[in-house]
Structure 1
Amino acid sequence: MTKSAWQGQWIWNEGEESPRNEWRCFRKTFEVPAGGWDEANFRITADSRYVLTINGHRLGRGPVRSWPFEQSYDTYDVAHLLLAGQSNTISVLVQHFGVSTFYYIRGRGGLLAQLDLKLSDKAVFTLGTDDSWLTSRHLGQHPRSPRMSCQQAFAEYVDASLWDEAWVLPQYDDSSWSPAKVVGPVGTGPWTTLKERDIPMLTEEQVYPVRVESLHQVKPFSWSTAIDLRNHMAPGSEDHSNLVGYTGYLAVVLHAAAPTSAILGFPYSYEGFGACTLNGQRIDPVQFTGTLPEKYVEIELLQGDNLFVMHVSGKAHTGKLHMGLYAETPIELRFPGYVEGAGSPFLTIGPFDTAVYLDHQDGRELDLEIPLYKEVLEKIKSAADLELYRTWLKPVDVKFVSEADVFGLCVWKKEAIRHDVPSSLQNMVIANSAAASIPAYPGYDTECVVDFGKELSGYLSFELEAEEGTIVDLYGFEYMLGDYRQDMFGLDNTLRYVCKQGRQQYVSSVRRGLRYVMLTVRSGGAPVKIYEVKMLQSNYPVAEVGRFQCSDPLLNDIWQISQHTTKLCMEDTFVDCPAYEQVFWVGDARNEALVSNYLYGVNDIVKRCLRLVPGSKVQTPLYADQVPSGWSSVIPNWTFFWAIACQEYYEQTGDRLFAEEMYPHIKYTLDHYLAQIDENGLFNIKGWNLLDWSPIDQPNEGIVTHQNCFLMKTLFTAAEMASKFGDLQGQASMTEAAEALRTAINLHLWNAEEQAYIDCIHADGRRSDILSMQTQVVAYLTGVAEGERKERMDHFLIDTPKHFVQIGSPFMSFFYYEALAESGRVSEIVADIRNNYGQMIDSGATTCWEMYPNFAENRANPNMLSRSHCHAWSAAPAYFLGKEVLGIQMAAPGWSEVVIAPGPSGLAWARGAVPLPDAGRIDVDWRVDESAKRIHITVQHPKHIKVTVKIPDGYQGEIVRKTSFGVL
């Protein structure tokens, strides 16, 4: 059906244009003409996210992430859902963030939709959003729930007793709702253009847990909250995700009916936590207990008012203070007074100074010498002393103070008494079983941990029966081992649900990643019956065409977790991880695309990722490292990897038109990078000069060797693209720039004594005295090292001096494996995979970790083996086991030619498949008789593919060729 012109208009509600964390519901009831129709399409988009229901059937979620000036919309075929000649109802839940994140740039609340029917008599029926639609705020959703993280929006808090989830059904009485307000027609800013969704809808597959892991009766904090200091202290910071700084103090009165002991806790102390006083007395830092980032202290409260003041200055992305209090007697939090309150018991003294920082650039340091600022903790002994700072007192608006910090309640417990899990309780994880009754313990909460058996990504759903007002908290996390639980510090992965009376079901609207769910019934009331807990697993739709098996069970396990990791990190773009961030990091996606090629062979997601990147030129001509994002951040290597990935996409698909489309964008940003070449001919920049988490010398200002190498590689890649499209001038200029850069690198960044490349030259001209494996690998891989120097690098690949910094992340290992493959050392790839990924398997991994378990950098807690336990930048084995061990390698664009070059590496056999980008796959099965040094290779492939088989050196071979239609 040819889509008609947009007649629907953007709609929202009277009031604030971009409200903070607002869920708004929209309905339209209408009659469809009798007589039927040939086609029925429904187009929809929203700012920020929507859930669409038609006649009670939940149809989909969207839109995909996009730049606001290229707002994406979705199209659904709804012919099967509409009732001819009858009343029909469209229901849409719109979640407006009201803040920028790492995957969304703040716009304003809005919904745009249009139904187009091509009737049987050839007439067209059109229904669009306008002021005849009805709207209501979702009255059960708490907009004061805390931010999940700086990368994401808000945690979920829903009171089912205040809202009827039947609002999506046709028979719902919406007479109390208000007419929607028209914002404007299509083209209204910030959504100046619309772009149709360019990938399929994501999956939703029901997955149940495998067991109830544990049962405890617990006592958490008596009171808790999370305070958004960032948006309070730095108004306007909602519009971006850049780092902000502020100086000031937080104050609150703790009112005790009688003298009492209490425990004051800060479950995440990395932001907002500083020196503090109680009634003018400094709390000694040595009094705090807890393993970082947790901090807890026992305090003595006097009868009546007790003034607590905390230093909250610093630089922050999220700027969220987690705070909790435990006491046996009631403690009331009161506003300190002297200024009109804002609904919360908190006020700040300050901010005395604020600043916004562009990523890794020079920024004004906060003024720490303001006399009044320096003296606060010494001068304020009681609430009366706040009068000294009247002009600096600023009440904390209640919207920035959450009703409860569910994360803190789940992390810290005063008591936790373990019980054996009754067999009847396992019913809660079994589909279609009897209900599981959650036991109640008077005076305690009841906590169950359920295990899904492996990492998942999607939407939590549950069904239960409870009394009205019963609180059920759910907290998702990724890892447990024995008695150790790795809490997800920096991510509030929680859902609070307040029950209505009776049996009820809830489907979350917030995407999250997890393996375990801690389900806690609060307050020891009447038992709660749980009928089911499940995840709606949601990812880019793929068929598991790629396969790998071999004679080593460990490698098989490693391949499986690599496959699962890649799948979970394929959403509407590739994402770094499904839990912590859900962010499209541009550089990560280059490697993830190569892995995906060998597993799934899907192209649209790769193309959409690559197309999103140039949109960031509105932020920087160097292109941002994560897009679309409110954080204006550049990692030069990530831009270089994006340009290389554009060429690799062409090689994978043979899609010349797409490569031609991307080439001007590549040339544009490279022109701006070349403007950073200094008088010595080297790339010299101030920025986030990252490659690996290891302590290599990669300063944020100066000349970083690996960055210069990758820029040279990118220039050669762009020159190759220029030659394809007849840009002879561009080809010549970029080739010349690449050659000049290679010369400069070899002249200035070589250590003759060590016969190795140094890591960098600092901004003050100091040559780095650090040598690293990373720099040598990149110099080899990019072709900077030639002749004897290349031979030297080749030696370092397998015999690295002990004083060189070693590889510290699976991401860097991808480039190491590429270098080993280029040098023909497949056995070393396999050995490294066994060693490093084998540690993950030994520790119970079901997905690949962001860091190696034995790598201690960036970890305050020695028990924390990795930050993220599902990170697709680490899924390299799925690519290299298929390409180098199984031996299936593309030899011409679009896989029109293929080379089969097995790398036995001590294995007795291997078999598997690699998908082709358009149709079919390559199947390979090889077996080795090591005593006779013979290898038997069976290859099956589509008839039109030219396949060359190479027998490994030192072996004699027998080859059986098959096409999809029989033996050749």
Structure 2
Amino acid sequence: MKDREMDWQASWIWGGVEKSPRNEWRCFKHSFELHSGGIKEAEIAITADSRYVLYVNGKQCGRGPIRSWPAEQSYHVHDVAHLLQEGENAIAVLVMHYGVSTFQYLLGQGGLLAQLNVEMASGETLMIGTDDRWLTARHAGYDTRSQRMSTQLGFSESVDARAWDESWTRGDCASGSNQWEWAITVGEPGDEPWPSLRRSPLPALTEEQVWPVRMESLKVTKPVSWTAAIDIRNAMDPDSIGHANPVSFVGYVAVVIRAREETEATIGILSRFHALKGISLGGEYKAASEMEGEQPERYARVRLNQGDNVLWLDFAGSDHGTGLHFGIDCEAAIELVSPPFSEQAEEDSSPFVLIGPFTTHESIDHRDDEVNPLSGYEGFGGSRAIDAEAFEHFDIYTAFRSVREVSDLSPFTAFAKPLPSSLVSRASVYARSVWKREERSLLVPMNLQSACMANSEPAVIIPREGSETELIFDFGKEWSGYLRFEVDAPAGTMLDFYGYEYMKDGWRQDTYTLDNTLRYVCKEGRQIYESPVRRGLRYLMVTVSHTTRPVKLYGVQLLQSNYPVAEIGRFHSSDPLLNDVWEISKHTTRLCMEDTFVDCPAYEQAFWVGDSRNEALVNYYLFGEIDMVKHCLELVPGSRFQTPLYADQVPSGWSSVIPNWTFFWAIACLEFVEHTGDKAFAKEIWQKVRFTLEHYLDRLDERNLLFIRGWNLLDWAPIDQPRNGVVTHQNAIFARTLKAAAQLAEAAGEASQGIRFKEASDKLAAAINEHLWCEERQAYIDCIHAEGRRSDTISIQTQVIAFLTGVAEGERRSRMADYLVQPPENFVHIGSPFMAFFYYEALEELGRFDLMLDDMRKNFGQMIQHEATTCWEMYPDFAENRPNPKMLTRSHCHAWSAAPGYFLGACVLGVRKASAGWRKVRVAPQPAGMKWARGAVPLPDGGRIDVSWRLKEEGGSHRFELEVRAPETILVEMVAPVGYEADAIMRRL
């Protein structure tokens, strides 16, 4: 059955009254009988909007779907023959519907489509598909008010095991049977919003059980009085569920804090929320910038009067969906209640009231602290920033600061409306994890370390009256997957989990833009829970509270989930530091290979198109995977309905274009064809590359330069790359891309179509040299601003790109080479390992392998010194996005940074393809000061090249021992380094 075209006879089904509910976890099940006779084959084809977990007879057997465009919804086929039995069988599916767009999902509607095809040994066939005979129920154990993890991701989970009987996956419904109802048919295959279905070209991801290596710490803590998380972005702009863009707004949130007695209190802001301008309590205003604390945490000491105290939260700015996590701590008992406005609060309303918003706009600020006016943005979702004059005539705008008592609220009635409880969590597990009233460290007894070991006695956690117990586990490395734990506890015991990436000397780097938490309320007795939400972390905080007897923790694990790859690539050398650097590059790349390449397993899990070009090259040398690379390349043109320039992360609800990312994608398409020799792919992808590049050519100005208003990014460093104007590095990369397009056209058998692109490349390079060179400073300037002002900034990034793309020729190229060898101090220097990839490419072309390795030792060596197990997003001396000097980088695992995984194989081992598809290979190692190295490089069609070399000094001569092992079908050329006599041995695998 595996090779057959899917003959869909099932229907899309859903349940409940909402078409697209927010954060709903819905269960589906169907029971059926199989008669005797033996099962030959059985497969379930399944997809869902948004994500599913599949069970057959109580056994979990699949997750999905892989990310895809709604117009081409992906489905997966799971082999389930081994799970079926004679007699009664049950299929059960848990569907998580987001109800909001993310960086990997576009809002559709709730739906499940599944079809079981069984072939019996007798030849009889059976088909069971989703229809209105399936049962469904909302999973009552999951709290739909759990907080959003981030704008890039869906929702964290808060689950009460007492509220739902997990035996439902076996088809049972004895518990809560009155909650089940017949499913509703909501469409047929081919209906909107899923007009076509495509079988996943990828295998299921791995699930490997990883245990912690040790318990890092043990503490007795006391929680703060009250916490919550509010989705301010959605509250201010309800339509924002349909996209993942930043939203700018001006408005307020008000609430009454009712205190039993007068007391000192602390109000804490626990997320990096730029739109919060200040707070006002009892008429006393405090700007957010004036609040105390280690940024981005902010705290204000206030006094609560006995009775009602009016708290205002003042918002004016842009929010990209971070969510406002905040709390209140005091000794007195408090309650939050709604301000007494005349409008009757709805049943679904929280105690918070929204005042305004007075204005809102979608804004594309692209990680800036300030909102940028981008009308005319060349991406596909641009809009203007907030116009202050649009609301300044409202006297009400500043009047809130004079509100001292509840009686002063009446003027605001016309502007007030209840804030739905669906946008306010019952508590912020994140805030409770990072802010605790008191904490006291204890020695970690050896018996508690048993929670880190399989097949051992449980760790026993003793309750302490009035306090909570905090345990922090170290998994030894960064991992990405699904949390799983086993515990024996009384009903009502609360377990709060919080994952993060880095800590050192007692300092913890909290995830201020990511709610990486899980809350689990125990049922009675021994139980196992496995989270369906993917998380990335190294450290895991577990806080145990509300227990009436000792809790037995039988272990916490992470089910490591990534694209199934074999670790074919190898590297080992006389330099232990470079060996460590190669290892973290390998581990980083593996963790960032899911159903696509992703930027980081913790913060975003997004497929950034430009990042993946470099990641694909690293993967070729580590794992040799090509199917996933092809899938990634094919996903990008799906954004054509959003923008002809193609989006920079796909499929995504964020309206964003980085021209360089589209250019890198086009170059990656050519590199894939050259790597695999796949001319059929070249034919398939060529017209899609041609389409977008023609639209970029249409944006050349009268000087023949690319003048574009967009996110003109290359590096995080402070190079001059404005969002409107002519950016030099972008023009140079465009020129290189046009040449690559001509080569791709030739590979596709359309050489005549590529002539235009080669000619356009030459003209663009000439224009760059005419308009973007500074004769006085003998370098390329960074840009020409929109108003015509030439940049004063000279960066090494721009010079690297001018050299690498071939734009710089003759004397200018020689000048660029000098800058690569010795970057001038007054140039802006490289700020990210991503940019270092291009720098290394240039050094390779220049033959300065010694400088490449020295740079690795310096910059990646800093990561190793800080015990990094994965490559960081930024260099530790780079200040942007570092609110605290202890924060060395935002993401501690980022595959765009794994360049050594490629260059150590390509340069030190010296393994390079000499023809398309690697039918011919050149092995030319570059010792660059090392004494020996050995390793392996995968081949695209299977197999590998093994290389071992060693330098020897004999009788004054420099000899180079080189041994290569390769398949019989591969023609290998072996080349010794300049100045060495070679002893070369060729062996066949």
Partner of 2:371: none
TM-score scaled by length of structure 2? 0.96
CA drift of 1:385 comes to 2.2
Instruction: Specify whether residues 35 and 482 from structure 1 end up closer, same or farther in structure 2 by C-alpha distance, changes over 3 A only.
Output: same
Q: Report the AA paired with residue 384 of structure 2.
A: R
1:845 pairs with one of 855, 864, 868: 868
Q: Report the AA paired with residue 11 of structure 1.
A: I
* Distance in 1, Cα, partners of 2:985 & 2:289: 72
Partner of 1:168: 169
Instruction: Specify whether residues 845 and 4 from structure 1 end up closer, same or farther in structure 2 by C-alpha distance, changes over 3 A only.
Output: closer
* Distance in 1, Cα, partners of 2:100 & 2:447: 44
Partner of 2:916: 893
Corresponding residue SS for 2:449: helix
Instruction: Specify whether residues 198 and 285 from structure 1 end up closer, same or farther in structure 2 by C-alpha distance, changes over 3 A only.
Output: closer
Q: Does 1:341 align with 2:360?
A: no
Q: Does 1:869 align with 2:872?
A: no
Partner of 2:643: 620
1:201 pairs with one of 188, 204, 208: 204
Q: Does 1:80 align with 2:82?
A: yes
TM-score scaled by length of structure 1? 0.98
* Distance in 2, Cα, partners of 1:229 & 1:26: 32
Partner of 1:229: 232
2:306 pairs with one of 272, 278, 303: 303
* Distance in 2, Cα, partners of 1:125 & 1:609: 35
* Distance in 2, Cα, partners of 1:340 & 1:667: 58
Deviations 1:88-108 (A, max 9, x none): 000100000000000100100
CA drift of 1:459 comes to 0.1
Instruction: Specify whether residues 286 and 875 from structure 1 end up closer, same or farther in structure 2 by C-alpha distance, changes over 3 A only.
Output: closer
CA drift of 1:172 comes to 4.4
Deviations 1:813-868 (A, max 9, x none): 00000000011111111110000000000001000000111222221110000100
Q: Does 1:961 align with 2:962?
A: no
Q: Report the AA paired with residue 20 of structure 1.
A: R
Q: Report the AA paired with residue 352 of structure 1.
A: F
Partner of 1:449: 472
Q: Report the AA paired with residue 33 of structure 1.
A: H
Q: Which residues of 2 match residues 486-501 of structure 1 at below 5 A?
A: 486-501=509-524
Q: Report the AA paired with residue 941 of structure 1.
A: A
Partner of 1:51: 53
CA drift of 1:37 comes to 3.2
CA drift of 1:954 comes to 1.1
Partner of 1:366: 386
* Distance in 2, Cα, partners of 1:287 & 1:569: 39
Corresponding residue SS for 1:677: coil
1:268 pairs with one of 248, 267, 271: 271
2:361 pairs with one of 355, 358, 362: 355
Partner of 2:369: none
CA drift of 1:728 comes to 4.0
Q: Structure 1 residues 724-733 or 673-682, which shifts more?
A: 724-733
* Distance in 1, Cα, partners of 2:271 & 2:83: 47
- Whether the aligned pair in 1 keeps the contact of 2:318 and 2:363 (CA below 8 Å) is no
Instruction: Specify whether residues 802 and 775 from structure 1 end up closer, same or farther in structure 2 by C-alpha distance, changes over 3 A only.
Output: same
Partner of 1:781: 804
- Whether the aligned pair in 2 keeps the contact of 1:144 and 1:399 (CA below 8 Å) is yes
Q: Which residues of 2 match residues 484-883 of structure 1 at below 5 A?
A: 484-523=507-546, 525-883=548-906
Partner of 1:220: 223
CA drift of 1:416 comes to 1.1
Q: Does 1:178 align with 2:181?
A: yes
- Whether the aligned pair in 2 keeps the contact of 1:359 and 1:688 (CA below 8 Å) is no
- Whether the aligned pair in 1 keeps the contact of 2:279 and 2:313 (CA below 8 Å) is yes
* Distance in 2, Cα, partners of 1:918 & 1:732: 31
Deviations 1:401-456 (A, max 9, x none): 00010111111122110000011101111111111111322211110000000000
CA drift of 1:660 comes to 1.2
Q: Structure 1 residues 518-527 or 217-226, which shifts more?
A: 518-527
Q: Report the AA paired with residue 356 of structure 1.
A: E
Corresponding residue SS for 2:395: helix
* Distance in 2, Cα, partners of 1:687 & 1:751: 25
* Distance in 2, Cα, partners of 1:103 & 1:372: 42
- Whether the aligned pair in 2 keeps the contact of 1:103 and 1:630 (CA below 8 Å) is yes
Instruction: Specify whether residues 891 and 772 from structure 1 end up closer, same or farther in structure 2 by C-alpha distance, changes over 3 A only.
Output: same
CA drift of 1:367 comes to 3.7
* Distance in 2, Cα, partners of 1:935 & 1:871: 36
Deviations 1:917-966 (A, max 9, x none): 112100000001256321100000001101101110111110010011xx
- Whether the aligned pair in 1 keeps the contact of 2:242 and 2:653 (CA below 8 Å) is yes
- Whether the aligned pair in 2 keeps the contact of 1:750 and 1:757 (CA below 8 Å) is yes
* Distance in 2, Cα, partners of 1:56 & 1:759: 60
- Moved segments of 4+, more than 6 Å: none
Deviations 1:463-497 (A, max 9, x none): 00111111100000000111111111100000000
Corresponding residue SS for 2:731: helix
CA drift of 1:313 comes to 2.2
Q: Report the AA paired with residue 364 of structure 1.
A: R
Corresponding residue SS for 2:821: coil
Partner of 1:27: 29
Q: Report the AA paired with residue 641 of structure 2.
A: V
Q: Report the AA paired with residue 560 of structure 2.
A: Q
- Whether the aligned pair in 2 keeps the contact of 1:923 and 1:940 (CA below 8 Å) is yes
* Distance in 2, Cα, partners of 1:172 & 1:938: 65
- Whether the aligned pair in 1 keeps the contact of 2:150 and 2:322 (CA below 8 Å) is no
Corresponding residue SS for 2:81: coil
Q: Structure 1 residues 117-126 or 15-24, which shifts more?
A: 117-126
Q: Which residues of 2 match residues 429-448 of structure 1 at below 5 A?
A: 429-448=452-471
* Distance in 1, Cα, partners of 2:686 & 2:556: 48
Q: Report the AA paired with residue 412 of structure 1.
A: W
Deviations 1:235-276 (A, max 9, x none): 110010112111111110000111111111111142442222
Q: Which residues of 2 match residues 57-68 of structure 1 at below 5 A?
A: 57-68=59-70
Partner of 1:71: 73
Q: Which sections of structure 1, spanning at least 5 residues, go unmatched?
A: none
CA drift of 1:730 comes to 1.8
Q: Which residues of 2 match residues 105-254 of structure 1 at below 5 A?
A: 105-173=106-174, 175-176=177-178, 177-254=180-257
CA drift of 1:384 comes to 2.3
- Whether the aligned pair in 2 keeps the contact of 1:441 and 1:524 (CA below 8 Å) is no
Q: Report the AA paired with residue 93 of structure 2.
A: V
Partner of 2:96: 95
Number of equivalences: 963
Q: Report the AA paired with residue 17 of structure 2.
A: G
Deviations 1:172-215 (A, max 9, x none): 43743100000011011110000000011100001100000000
Partner of 1:7: 9
Aligned residues with identical type, % of pairs: 54
* Distance in 2, Cα, partners of 1:283 & 1:701: 36
CA drift of 1:341 comes to 1.9
Q: Report the AA paired with residue 353 of structure 2.
A: L
* Distance in 1, Cα, partners of 2:332 & 2:486: 35
Q: Report the AA paired with residue 810 of structure 2.
A: G
Q: Report the AA paired with residue 363 of structure 2.
A: Y
* Distance in 2, Cα, partners of 1:556 & 1:827: 16
Q: Does 1:330 align with 2:333?
A: yes
Instruction: Specify whether residues 120 and 3 from structure 1 end up closer, same or farther in structure 2 by C-alpha distance, changes over 3 A only.
Output: farther
CA drift of 1:218 comes to 1.1
Instruction: Specify whether residues 366 and 476 from structure 1 end up closer, same or farther in structure 2 by C-alpha distance, changes over 3 A only.
Output: same
Q: Which sections of structure 2, spanning at least 5 residues, go unmatched?
A: 367-373, 376-382
Partner of 2:410: 387
CA drift of 1:372 comes to 2.9
Partner of 2:976: 951
